[in-house]
Structure 1
Amino acid sequence: MKTHVRSDWRGAILVCRKCGKKAGGGFGPKGKTSLAKALRKEMHGGKGRKARLGVVEVGCLGVCPKHAVTVVDASHPGEWLIVPAGTPVEEVAARLDAAAPTAARPGPAAEDGGRQPPA
């Protein structure tokens, strides 16, 4: 039995599933996409353990804002985002990317798995 599984994640974003349901999607070009799905697409998160960034829908986080979704960046667990429905996903991604550690940001170091070029 395996005790460890490798992952390519450089960070994780937690999105409240209950808030997303209450908001009825509210994101994307037509306003019908869930925030988690829109963030995966915008931040090139992908799905599964081979993605660069994990965007995970979790159970209720207990904040329950009206017409908004609660989001937690795992690299900054002390500061939660309340994202109103209809907020452009690019804006949310920019706020999360600005707070992300450099290892989670796309770039030459992250693209090649963090390996240093030969000197």
Structure 2
Amino acid sequence: MIPEAMAPHQPVNPKPHIATPLVRNYGARRVRVGADAYMPVMVNSVLPATARPHRPAPILICRKCLKRAANGRAIKRALKAELKALGRARGVKRPRIVMTGCFGICPKRAVTAASGATLARGEFLLLADDDQATAAAARLMARDI
């Protein structure tokens, strides 16, 4: 047993009913360690690290479709605004819109969009007009798979 004088100093938790995250100093950075860490520190680990983002899953939009559609910029702008409003209503950050390569569907005069939830169901959304952004945002941010 280590005498109290030699034991490492443990910070006193002023609110013992609330667990405090373990914070370690790595040079100039302070890194949270433990189950609630944003991204665990990689220290010669055998298993890959898992990072949990602070946002919902990204929305994927085909760059080629946006360029081909006459109103592609309006569709992207309306979808981004609807995602922002829906995220604010749910109390979460809006998902990022990520421009991707071709999905291989190539609709005429429409834009192909997908998210993690729609891809899990095997669905792609085809947006022909910026008026469809409200319904598309709700389906793209759906939580059920």
TMscore range, shorter length:
0.5 to 0.7
- Contiguous gaps of at least 5 residues in structure 1: 27-31, 46-50, 103-119
Distance in 1 (CA, whole Å) between partners of 2:130 and 2:75 is 11
Note if contact 1:12-1:75 (Cα within 8 Å) is conserved in structure 2. no
TM-score (structure 2 length as normaliser): 0.49
Aligned with 1:38 (options 69, 72, 78): 78
1:101 aligns with 2:143: yes
Percent of aligned positions that are identical: 38
| 2:75–2:133 contact (8 Å) kept in structure 1 | no
CA distance, structure 1, for counterparts of residue 74 and residue 81 of structure 2: 11
Q: Is residue 8–residue 52 contact of structure 1 (8 Å, CA) maintained in 2? A: no
The aligned amino acid for 2:78 is A
Q: SS at the partner of 2:99? A: strand
Cα 1:34–1:82 change in 2 (3 A) is closer
What residue ranges of structure 2 are gaps of 5+ in the alignment? 1-40, 43-48, 88-92
Which ranges of 4 or more aligned residues in structure 1 deviate by more than 4 Å? Answer: 2-6
Partner of 1:82: 126
Length-normalised TM-score, structure 1 = 0.58
Shift of 1:75: 1.9
Q: Distance in 1 between matches of 2:110 and 2:137?
A: 16
Give the secondary-structure state (helix, strand or coil) at the position aligned to 2:54.
Answer: coil
C-alpha separation in 2, matches of 1:59 and 1:41: 23
Q: Decide which structure has the larger Cα Rg and report it.
A: 2
1:55-94 alignment runs, 5 A limit: 55-77=97-119, 78-94=122-138
